A and B are shown apart, each in its own frame.
Chain A
């Protein structure tokens, strides 16, 4: 599960996991009352607004892209700190 993750898919993890989950399901759906009824909201506007499908834009002005640009232009030879990303585009 490290290194080149896509090179080696690990089906092993799936079977191990099945064992852990024996007699256990953390995500058991809560029981609705037998007479529980509610108004069906169908596909309201709010439901569709929960998701974003046009995020893959051409914008490269975010901090990450600006740092990437600097790396590629070779102005910074040293890898940035692992946890703290420098985000000072002006330097």
Chain B
């Protein structure tokens, strides 16, 4: 810390107080937001926190003018947060910042226009990030991490302030996205439901009127939720929206969208081009795509095994595992075509024995009864049309479209 005189400290604190009161009186949201951006580590706020730690009696400066003292409920705890932040006491920082944020919300509620939305965004972001860091501090000293959960409750309150009618509603989606990030991190994604309902059932506000950055983030998270619910058409719609509208410069986000969209597309019978996997470094899906194309059950199994850990972590393992049925379909189709080339008249009859032979070649250890069961499932799920002659152990395929394509629809369940 560079040396700072008492006079200099005094000057910096007064400068901050002036900026605050000017930003509010001129309704300048983008100036106001800078005064709350703790974790951006701006030199302005860093030197202010040094000044506060030196000067100690900033409360006296706040009280000396009505311009400042009317906001003391916001500024006093905010100063405390800045001081703690500078000393790296993150739990104290969080507690003080939340107090300041609560007071800010009280004021914000009374302002009729939405001029202070940008400042509110910064507060919503800061509260989440500070809570995460506070929790890390708590966990490392063996205490229960609970601040992120508290940040979630606070942001629900903020959501309530924005979600009604009026010009502030445009900010509701930003807060929703911060809530999603918290819920996904805490593993309490069921809590997303009530906010989603409020966003999606509102007749008074068209979704398209929200800012692009929030729409894309929202569609990414709700798309992931649809993946977990195995609602693939909805997941496809949401994640595709996120992909199309995402900032093309933001490679990390595009890759994350694709990470979930690819398994969704696969499950409705659509494959990514290999250049797409390579361009975004998603080659963990290459083996699976190839397995689908070939009808290669062994390759599918190996590809799933090889990347099992990653697929489990992102929660797509079960989705990918279910592709097995499509791979069976493809394999039986290939057997059918090979038979057809040899003898077109008998091609629609496939002996179980033949399928068993192919499976054995692929190291799939099954007996005739199990193969029969798989064929029954393929027929039941409409991946194969025909019937099964139990006595003669033969699958008799329909002469018309024996292997219906999914065409963007999920496998029947």
Contact = CB atoms under 8 A, between A and B. Distances in A.
A34 B365 CA distance: 56
B187 A27 contact: no
Residues of A contacting B: mostly: loop
Interface string A14-26: 1001111111111
Given A23-B186, A52-B272, A47 B243 contact: yes
B172 to A, nearest CB: 15
Nearest to B260: A27
Identify which of A4, A42, A80 gathers the most chain B CB atoms within 10 Å of its CB. Answer: A4
Interface in A1-44: 1, 3-7, 9-10, 13-14, 17-38, 40-43
A49 B256 CA distance: 19
Contact of B312 (A9, A17, A29, A72): A17
A71 B361 contact: yes
Contacts of B259: 27
Interface size class of A (residues with CB under 8 A): 35 or more
A23 B133 CA distance: 11
A1 B301 CA distance: 10
Contacts of B298: 82
Given A26-B314, A34-B33, A56 B269 contact: yes
Given A6-B325, A72-B357, A82-B363, A50 B187 contact: no
Contacts of A82: 298, 363
Interface in A41-91: 41-43, 47, 49-53, 55-56, 58, 60, 62, 64-65, 67-69, 71-72, 79-80, 82
Residues of B contacting A: mostly: helix
B317 interface: yes
B270 A51 contact: yes
Interface string B238-259: 0000011101111011001001
Contact of B313 (A10, A21, A30, A56): A21
A80 B363 CA distance: 9
B135 interface: yes
The 6 A-B residue pairs with the shortest CB-CB distance in the complex, in nearest-first order? A32-B213, A64-B294, A38-B247, A25-B184, A71-B361, A22-B187
Interface of A: 1, 3-7, 9-10, 13-14, 17-38, 40-43, 47, 49-53, 55-56, 58, 60, 62, 64-65, 67-69, 71-72, 79-80, 82
